Chain A
Amino acid sequence: MSNMERKRVLFIEDEEELVRDLPPILKSKGFEVTATTDVAEALRLFAESDFDVVLTDIAMPPAPDMDGKALAYGRETGVEVARRLHAIRTDIPIVALTVIRDQQIVSRMRKAGIRDILHKPQELQRIVETLERVTRW
């Protein structure tokens, strides 16, 4: 993948180690990654910049303007993030990377516009393949 073709990834994840380790690997795979542990910052970045895909965790501390209780005290923060991102642009694919298996939450994730769900722990190869697939068009 040349620089011109690099797909821009917004990576939202509250695990600092993952935010530190995953972006350089994805970069070596041809992606350009902007990573943040802060949900509010992620929403701002999305509104201000162009991304080809969003890779987001689901269970994260909510942003100050989010109703924490409605989000099961953070368990479903990523759902609200996806909803807000989707409200801004519906054409940017959103991929979840999450430990959540609960079918009801998964259903809400889908309704919020999350296209693919990758369950942690996930092999790097699968993460890369998914990002490549959803950004193909």
Chain B
Amino acid sequence: MTDEEKKQEKKAQDKLIDSGGLAGEVSQLINKYAGGQIPVLVDEKDPKNGLINGELLKIYQRGFAGENLVPLGVLFAKSTNVKWEEGNADYHLSEWSKGDWTKVCSAIRLCTKGNKECELCDRQWAAVAKGHGDVVAYMCVHGLVDFAMPIFVEKEAIAVIFTGQVAPKEGTFWNREFVEENGVFLLEGCDNSGVEARRVTLERFGESERQYGLKAGTLLRKLNQDVDANDAVEVTPEDVEELRNKLREAGRHLSNLAESTYRLEKSKAVGGLKSAIAWSAAQVDVERVAETLPSIVEGVSEAATLICEYFGIDYMLVLNIKTEKSSFRILLENTPEKMPWKRGVWADELDEESFRGLADVVASFPRFLADADLWPLRKRPFFDWVATWLQGKQASRCVGARLDRAGLLPCVLLAGRKAGLKLSDFHEQDKSDFARIIEDIGAVINIVLFIDELRAAGESQDVFLEDVAHEIRSPVQNLLIKIERLKSGSVQPNEVLDEVGRLGAQVRRIHQLSQRIWVLERLRRGYSELDKRGLVGVHQAIMEVVRTLDDVAKGKNLTILVAWQMKEWRAIRIDHDLFFQAMLNLVDNAIKYSSEGTEIRIDGEMKLYPKCRISVINRGIEIKEQYRDNIFKRGVRTSEAKMHIWQGSGIGLCIVKAFADFYHGDVKVECNPIQESSDFVTEFRLTFTGAFL
């Protein structure tokens, strides 16, 4: 940088600082801590060289040395609520006490509108930032924040760096909000407590390894290396030999896995989930698989490194076997033009022009290795993951390939050949080793995915059985005691009828449970079990439900109203028993949670496809938003919904969901407060499709 340039830069800094705004103040702080190396907070003309993409990373690396975390963003806050002692105005992060943390976290809370909503989106508490000890700060940065650490404090200004991963809010690519021109979020007047805040996004580096249980430090080391080192790494014969040894070792592991894979797939295919669980539990040494994976990943990673190095490819997306090529294309098509990686291509579809473009890649960009990027695919939807990952990498061009069919290496070779690159100096055996190991990783991923599925299914089944057992034992206990009471003669003759009625209620409770379990079992067995010929008059079936539950509703002085228009609906082909049970559960649920003396409304509409929508609306207790998804899940042990909707096992709503899924529909719940009342209006909206006669 020439003297003149330095002067200009200083002038720009002064301008910011002189502006008296928080940006200037923070810029001053950053300059102080970064040794005056940071030109400006944000250089709109050249954002890549400003704080966001450059210097703050170095600060991060210095501050987080040894921490296996990925920087996510920085929050700068000016809070009148945080008072620092005179003479000790700035703290290095290591000097922060728990008290300091509490103050800072309080300031962060204030920046998030009184613990309610994120300023940047419509989520409530979308993220939780954990500090030292018990200190927890809540704020939304459109995703999960693992950790928060302050980097600067001066008087009333605070800077907290957040680390973790960024999950796009929704959709198929990341939020525009996150990638605004200068990457700065201005949070003006975010509350009325004297707090101003500006949040600055920081370059994100893809996934946190820690988040996905990968070996510690790899990504960070890589980042450290690549910040300063743009030189190509020379691949020596020793490197190749070492790699080959690793590949052989990985190959041995893989052969051990092959048999297990075969058994797993076979059992999954022929026996259904239940037998698969039993079979795999007996046949698969899960621990052994877990031990094997790291070495396989390492071997494949190194193979990928060499391939990337040889062909000069910046980024190699090693995609999950389930990833569809069309998904990759959609990702690219949805990428804004300004995104540098717009020109990513699917390897075996590259046209000549694109391959020439690929050659540019070789010349223009530093090498990166996708070493740690295989496993996040297990955890995240493809789009989210790729978007975040590429954003973090600042990828310009990339090559995508699936692991199935031809495998990655042939795609890459094809890409290289078309691009006019010189072909490999490796021996054919080397290529073969690469190809095999990269293909095999797909099998390993599948094993891991399947084991995850099995574990989840097994756990879910355990919880479900426990719920069922719970639901049976309670009424049986009630019956036992009731019988004892009757036997004891303490029941007066005029009370006997009532007691018998109560006994009946307990028996019906058990009967209802058995019905629900049977319905779920029929659904599990699939389409062949259902009545495909029966025609159901929806209105008739609903009236049948209403009659069945009439006594229960009267017990709470509830009125059930069914929309008269439903009488005009045409009969449709759906399984009567299943529909009846689903509706019974919905109405029964509404009765349970309605306030006494209120109305339950059943309404709906039918379209000609035919597609039906039935709403069951009641007035009563609130189902909090965060619990609304869980109430339809089967065997969710930690369903907070069950704390609020305590009665019953929750199986009833599982059946409603299963019915909706089976008939290509859905069930949603909405819950809105009623003004000047503690009650809420809850609407369960069931949609499904059937067939006309």
Report if A and B associate in a common complex.
yes
Residues from chain A with Cβ under 8 Å of B638 in the complex: 69, 72-73
**For window 477-494 of chain B, which residues contact chain A by CB distance below 8 Å?**
477-482, 484-485, 488, 490
B412 to chain A, nearest CB (A): 48
- Which of B480, B490, B637 touches A24 (beta carbons < 8 Å)? B490
In the complex, the 9 A-B pairs of residues with the closest C-beta atoms, listed nearest first: A121-B477, A121-B476, A120-B477, A99-B473, A73-B643, A124-B484, A17-B478, A120-B473, A21-B481
Residue among A15, A18, A121 facing the most chain B CB atoms (10 A cut-off)? A121
In the complex, A59 has a CB within 8 A of chain B: yes
Residues from chain A with Cβ under 8 Å of B335 in the complex: none
Cα A28 to Cα B481 in complex, Å, equals 13
B477 to chain A, nearest CB (A): 4
Residues A15 and B646 in contact, CB atoms below 8 Å apart: no
Cα A97 to Cα B473 in complex, Å, equals 11
Residues A73 and B639 in contact, CB atoms below 8 Å apart: yes
In the complex, A30 has a CB within 8 A of chain B: no
B463 to chain A, nearest CB (A): 10
In the complex, B469 has a CB within 8 A of chain A: yes
Q: How many A-B residue pairs have CB under 8 A?
A: 69
Contacts beyond the supplied A18-B477, A25-B485: 8 A-B pairs with Cβ under 8 Å: A17-B482, A17-B502, A24-B490, A25-B488, A73-B639, A73-B643, A121-B476, A121-B479
Cα A14 to Cα B470 in complex, Å, equals 13
In the complex, B404 has a CB within 8 A of chain A: no
**For window 111-128 of chain A, which residues contact chain B by CB distance below 8 Å?**
119-124
Number of A residues contacting the other chain (C-beta, 8 Å)? 28
Residues of A near any B CB (own CB < 8 A):
14-15, 17-18, 21-22, 24-25, 28, 59, 61-62, 68-69, 72-75, 97, 99, 101-102, 119-124
Residues B643 and A123 in contact, CB atoms below 8 Å apart: no
Give 18 A-B contacts (CB < 8 Å), ordered by A residue: A18-B478, A18-B481, A21-B478, A21-B482, A24-B490, A25-B488, A59-B470, A61-B643, A62-B643, A75-B637, A99-B473, A99-B477, A101-B469, A120-B473, A121-B473, A121-B476, A121-B480, A122-B480
Residues from chain A with Cβ under 8 Å of B265 in the complex: none
Residues B480 and A124 in contact, CB atoms below 8 Å apart: yes
In the complex, B466 has a CB within 8 A of chain A: yes
In the complex, B295 has a CB within 8 A of chain A: no
Residues from chain B with Cβ under 8 Å of A15 in the complex: 474, 477-478
Closest residue of B by beta carbon distance from A100: B470
Residues from chain A with Cβ under 8 Å of B117 in the complex: none
Residues B478 and A24 in contact, CB atoms below 8 Å apart: no
Cα A121 to Cα B484 in complex, Å, equals 13
Cα A118 to Cα B488 in complex, Å, equals 22
In the complex, B640 has a CB within 8 A of chain A: yes
In the complex, B460 has a CB within 8 A of chain A: no
Cα A125 to Cα B478 in complex, Å, equals 14
